[in-house]
Chain A
Amino acid sequence: MLEIRNVTKKYHKTLAVDNVSFMVNKGRIGILLGPNGAGKSTLIKSIAGLLKYNGEIFINGFGARTLEAKRIFSYVPELPAMYDALTIKEHLEFTIKAYGLSEDAYQYADELMEIFELSDKQDKFGNELSKGMMQKVSICCGLLIKPSVILLDEPMVGLDPKAIKTLKEKILQLKEQGTTILLSTHMLEMVAELWEDLFIMNQGNIMGTFAKENVGNKDIEQIFFDMTGGENV
């Protein structure tokens, strides 16, 4: 479960996130939507523990900055960055070491590389990877720890159609396994069949929260444009 309570983030005098609260329950897929500059990235980085903020964030009841929370939490950033001198395989191995995962994780790493079509490139160095490949590695690292809560920031950007399909399948699989998922994206059509909870953000505030079971036949695009008055994502 991911719980955000009264989170406020200011950059000097600019209020980027204004007293935001929401919750994504266990085994639910939450989607964070909003136009550019709405404060989504700031909120996501705050949840990932990369920014200082006022308020509280809990991951399965643990404070987001605690090591207990970090052990069960994954973050796939919008702009992946790899270590130049580490190969794909070594990035995954580093994740295993950093999270203290069991030996079984090596086999899971191989499986992830296989389904994201990285097996034949596993010895490529970080500085030899394209943005799409980096994104795949970043997703694999995020999935490798079998997180209880996963945060995906624009995960489909740069991915090829097959990888997008694989990622969607993986997200649904994670949901089935009880993982809490929060996904931020601009691509409404990409999450149309995935979303369960929708959080529409604008000017640092959550403008609306919707649960799929409560909106009837309305699709995500309709809900978003009704809420924002046609403003672009």
Chain B
Amino acid sequence: MKPMIYLWYITLKNQVKMSLRKPANLLAIIFFAGYFLLMLWSFANMASDMKLQTVDIAPILSFFVVLYTPLNLATYAKRKGIVFKKSDINLLFTAPLPPKLIMLFAKIRTIWADVLISVFVSCAGVLIFHVSFWKVLVYFLFTTVIKQVLETSLVLILYTSETLKDGQRKLISISIYIILAVFVLSVGVCILTHDFEVLSARKIMENTFFQMVPFIGWNVAFVFMLFSEVTVVNVIGSILYFATAVVLFVIAKKMKCQGEYYEDAMKFADDYEEALKKSKKGEAAVIGKKKKYLQKTIEYKGTGAKAIFYRQLLEYKKNRWFIFGLGSFLYLLFGVGIGVIAKLIPEFGELQELKCLILPAAMAYIAFFTSGYRTKWATELEHPLTFLIPDSAIKKLWYATLVEHVRALCDGLLITVPAAIGMGLEPVYVLLSIFCCVFLNAGKNYTELLARYISGKNAIGVVYTLVKMVFQGILITSGIIGGLLGGIFTGFTKMVLILTGVNAGLFVIALIMASISSFLFERMDCAE
């Protein structure tokens, strides 16, 4: 274990050193430390306000058990959650170290979150709930030792055993799923047999059936035994938990492992790093899932910059959902939601014409919310070919964003039509709302280039995100100013002019951004 301890220690030491070098990271550390203290303080206030007795800590701690344990079990059942990096593969897997030990090391790397929660809970236990110190100490040891022994042994058995056949491993995974199903069922049964009242969650957790659910229930049983009262059920549950930990530990220790799991770990490491790379760039990525494309063709009806448009169109044609993505779904969801709420809540009618401003506000919210997701336009800036195509910058900018404008038009329709039906908007508002969506997204696209130009090489860093936010803020503010100007001219009586003002503001700023972008396009570095 010495080499792993060395690796862990040096990594931690250097990471702290590197973090302190960057002010942004230092700020994040201060923020999280502050957050930790704030949480403690809020809990203290809450505990004081609610006059919680010592006994009340049991359901709170059980809540953490219920929150995390099923999630962990489901991950282990799928043989996921233990991540090896490519560097582990090159330097650890080939070293003369027992493969089981390497897996143990990888699992231990994941428990820091558990340990942090335990520290937090233990501090809260002593300082806020005034639980006796020995109980908190026992709880801390339980979560950081016994629980980890049980889970780590389970991981070792599921991931690394070479005596287990695939069928047997599957059987264990199915058993875990059955345990999870029993857990859900037990919650259901408890809810049905109790009235909904303030303490129903506690009653669920105290229920015999619930405390007999393997792993999750047994863990809760131990918490209740320690912090609440000792009952036959929670004693049995606790004994079963400890016994399981011991049995699994012995099995894990004795089983044969020569490193056959390396192949799966290697595949997972590749998929994980790929997904990580994508998510850093703001792309949606599911580990291990390769995007499938349809077989499609396209006829290029033009040369030069136009080719960018046709290539993008071809890429979208190969997508199962064509140009529609997560953003489109959100627009539709908001549209339907606004429409339904408008129909269901009679007070909505009192808003009268003001309700037409709900849509631009919702659009701005979605535009901000989805700003982390990359569009085709963003990827275009990483292709050297985009810069090399012999055509003018303005044409390249136009054709490289044309599909995005069409997408914005479709998104505008998706949010506006259902919302307009629900709210009973007049056609002129429908039209103006759709335009608003187009101008807003056009501006958003150009902020991408401006932010990249200003942040330079750090196109996925904090500076880039901040600059992008500033430009998006300018964009939305221009819409608001446009709306206010429209309102001032009409004494805020004609909503059509206010909405037209919003559109004009967005259009003008999008146009300015497009002009600056086309100028900078020739002068910027290719992102990759």
Contact = CB atoms under 8 A, between A and B. Distances in A.
Interface of A: 45, 48-52, 65-68, 70-71, 73-75, 77, 79-87, 90-91, 93-95, 97-100, 125-126, 138, 141
Interface in B296-340: none
B95 A138 contact: no
Contact of A65 (B10, B90, B92, B258): B258
Nearest to B16: A85
Contact of B266 (A50, A68, A91): A50
5 contacts: A83-B87, A98-B91, A98-B95, A100-B96, A125-B18
A138 B94 contact: no
Given A50-B266, A138-B90, 7 more contacts: A48-B94, A49-B259, A49-B262, A51-B263, A68-B96, A94-B91, A97-B2
Interface in B85-127: 85-87, 89-98
Interface of B: 2-3, 6-7, 10-11, 14-15, 18, 85-87, 89-98, 258-260, 262-263, 266
A163 B6 CA distance: 30
B15 to A, nearest CB: 5
Contacts of B91: 83, 91, 94-95, 98, 141
Contacts of A97: 2-3, 6
Given A50-B266, A71-B96, A94 B10 contact: yes
B15 A85 contact: yes
A100 to B, nearest CB: 8
Contact of A125 (B14, B87, B89, B98): B14
Given A49-B93, A50-B93, A83 B85 contact: yes
A47 B18 CA distance: 37
Most chain B CB atoms below 10 A, which of A52, A65, A85? A85
A153 to B, nearest CB: 11
A51 B93 CA distance: 11
A49 B94 CA distance: 7
Nearest to A138: B90
Contact of B10 (A45, A66, A85): A85
Contacts of B89: 50, 77, 81
A108 to B, nearest CB: 17
B212 to A, nearest CB: 39
B259 to A, nearest CB: 6
A125 B14 CA distance: 9
B288 to A, nearest CB: 15
B92 A98 contact: yes
Contacts of B3: 94, 97-98
A82 B11 CA distance: 12
A146 to B, nearest CB: 14
A215 to B, nearest CB: 33
Given A85-B11, A86-B14, A94-B3, A99 B262 contact: no
Contacts of A71: 96
Given A85-B18, A94-B7, A50 B262 contact: yes
Contact of A86 (B10, B92, B93, B95): B10
A126 B87 contact: yes
Most chain B CB atoms below 10 A, which of A82, A97, A138? A97
A84 B258 CA distance: 27
B263 A52 contact: yes
Contact of A70 (B10, B14, B86, B94): B94
Nearest to A86: B10
B465 to A, nearest CB: 20
B86 A79 contact: yes
B10 A98 contact: no
Contacts of A95: 91, 95
A110 B7 CA distance: 20
A93 B10 CA distance: 10
A81 B86 contact: yes
B90 A73 contact: no
A80 B90 contact: yes
Nearest to A46: B263
Given A81-B85, A81-B86, A93 B94 contact: no
Given A51-B263, A125-B14, A82 B87 contact: yes
Contacts of B266: 45, 50-51
B6 A93 contact: yes
B13 to A, nearest CB: 8
Which are the 6 A-B pairs with shortest beta-carbon distances?
A81-B86, A70-B96, A98-B95, A98-B3, A85-B14, A97-B3
Nearest to A126: B87
Contact of A77 (B15, B90, B260): B90
A76 to B, nearest CB: 9
B263 A50 contact: yes
A181 B298 CA distance: 51
A100 B258 CA distance: 19
A80 B18 CA distance: 22
Nearest to B269: A81
Contacts of B7: 83, 86, 94
Contact of B11 (A65, A67, A86): A86
